[in-house]
């Protein structure tokens, strides 16, 4: 669906359902952005077809059935899988694309990575003011014209009609949140083989969505004791951790108002 609101807002908004997620693109530059949005959504559909574990003919499904060797896969697939391996090491094993059965599912990185590339498509087309959201993981650039900045709310984990913090910024930023309140317990601690207890959500902000998302997932899996302290040492990324007892930890540079 495309919603053009020429009298109220500049640019164009488009929403499509890809990778099992609503993808929202909100462009606030004047001018014709239809062609670049087509290119952007084509890219996301290609990512879905190539990486989905729900599609039998995706490269990931073929790798998991031993029909395709990792090194023979599409260069983009090889790049993503290598990055997953590096992130596993960097997060002490808390970000892990491997299931206990030995198959791989890189979707924890793919979403953020795909949106980073979608943002690059907009950048290359000369779009300066936009937001892209994939199921609540967001890249913003410029400002929400005619407003002076983008205002991004961090979902309140216990009350879906409220937000727990607001980030108002004109800095190009990626914002990712991992939590257990939306789709049930979908992040597991790989060491205890259980969903983490005592932690509601972790939000990580920085310049790249793929990394922010992977860090948020890993910190969430670490649980309430480790997560705040681990995020405090990240280089170039800031975090906000909400614990089940409603205590919120923010790293020194977390950019909310």
Partner 1 sequence: MRKSITILLTVATLALPVVDATAATRAKTKKIVISKRFTGSLASVTRWGSLQVTIVVRKTTTTTGTKKKVTRRITAVTVPIYPNHTDRSVYINQTAIPYLKSEALQAQSANINLVSGATDSSSAFAQSLQAAILKAKKA
> Residue 108 interacts with partner 1 (CB under 8 A)?
no
> CB neighbours of 206 closer than 8 A, spacing ≥ 6?
173, 174, 212, 215, 234, 236, 237, 238
Total site size for partner 1, rule CB under 8 A: 67
Under a CB-based contact definition with an 8 Å cutoff, are residues 119 and 139 in contact? yes
> Residue 71 interacts with partner 1 (CB under 8 A)?
no
> Residue 14 interacts with partner 1 (CB under 8 A)?
no
Binding mask 154-193 for partner 1 (x = CB under 8 A): xxxxxxxxxxxxx--------xxxxxxxxx--x-------
CA dihedral 106, 109, 112, 115 (to 10 degrees): -40
Cα atoms found within 13 Å of the Cα of residue 249, Cβ hemisphere only: 24
Which is nearer to partner 1, 65 or 186 (by Cβ)?
A: 186
> Residue 106 interacts with partner 1 (CB under 8 A)?
no
Query: 34-47 burial string, b = 16+ CB within 10 Å, else e?
Result: eebbeebbebbeeb
Closest alpha carbon to 23 in 157, 100, 133, 108: 133
Return the residue of 60, 81, 131, 221 that touches partner 1, per CB under 8 A.
131
> Residue 247 interacts with partner 1 (CB under 8 A)?
yes
> Residue 24 interacts with partner 1 (CB under 8 A)?
yes
Name the token pair of 201.
Answer: 């959500």
Query: 4-29 burial string, b = 16+ CB within 10 Å, else e?
Result: eeeeebebbbbebebbebebbbbbbb
From the list 67-75, 80-88, 93-101, 246-254, the region that binds partner 1 by CB under 8 A is: 246-254
> Residue 22 interacts with partner 1 (CB under 8 A)?
yes
> CB neighbours of 40 closer than 8 A, spacing ≥ 6?
25, 118, 121, 122, 132
> Residue 104 interacts with partner 1 (CB under 8 A)?
no
Residue 243 Cβ vs partner 1, minimum distance, rounded to whole Å: 8
> Residue 11 interacts with partner 1 (CB under 8 A)?
no
Q: Map the footprint of partner 1 across residues 182-241, applying CB under 8 A.
A: 182-183, 186, 201, 203, 224-225, 228-229, 232-233
Interface contacts to partner 1, rule CB under 8 A: 3, 5, 7-9, 13, 15, 17, 20-22, 24, 26, 131, 133, 135-138, 140, 144, 147, 150-166, 175-183, 186, 201, 203, 224-225, 228-229, 232-233, 242, 246-254
């Amino acid at each position: 669906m495309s919603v053009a609101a020429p009298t109220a807002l500049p640019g164009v908004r488009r929403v499509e359902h890809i990778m099992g997620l609503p993808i929202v693109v909100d462009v606030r530059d004047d001018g014709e952005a239809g062609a670049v949005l087509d290119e952007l959504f084509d890219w996301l559909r290609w990512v879905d077809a190539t990486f989905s574990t729900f599609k039998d003919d995706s490269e990931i499904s073929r790798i998991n059935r031993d029909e395709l060797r990792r090194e023979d896969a599409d260069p983009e697939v090889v790049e993503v899988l290598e990055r997953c391996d590096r992130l596993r090491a960097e997060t002490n094993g808390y970000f892990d694309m491997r299931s206990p059965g030995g198959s791989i599912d890189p979707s924890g990185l793919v979403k953020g990575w795909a949106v980073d590339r979608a943002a690059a498509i907009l950048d290359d087309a000369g779009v300066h003011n936009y937001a892209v959201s994939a199921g609540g993981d967001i890249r913003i650039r410029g400002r929400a014209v005619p407003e002076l900045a983008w205002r991004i709310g961090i979902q309140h984990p216990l009350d879906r009609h409220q937000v727990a913090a607001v980030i108002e910024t004109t800095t190009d930023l990626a914002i990712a949140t991992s939590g257990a309140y939306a789709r049930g317990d979908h992040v597991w601690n790989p060491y205890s083989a259980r969903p983490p207890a005592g932690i509601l959500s972790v939000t990580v902000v920085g310049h790249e969505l793929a990394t922010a998302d992977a860090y948020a997932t890993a910190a969430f899996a670490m649980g309430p004791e480790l997560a705040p302290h681990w995020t405090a040492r990240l280089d170039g990324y800031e975090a906000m951790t909400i614990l089940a007892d409603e205590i919120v930890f923010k790293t020194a540079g977390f950019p909310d108002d």
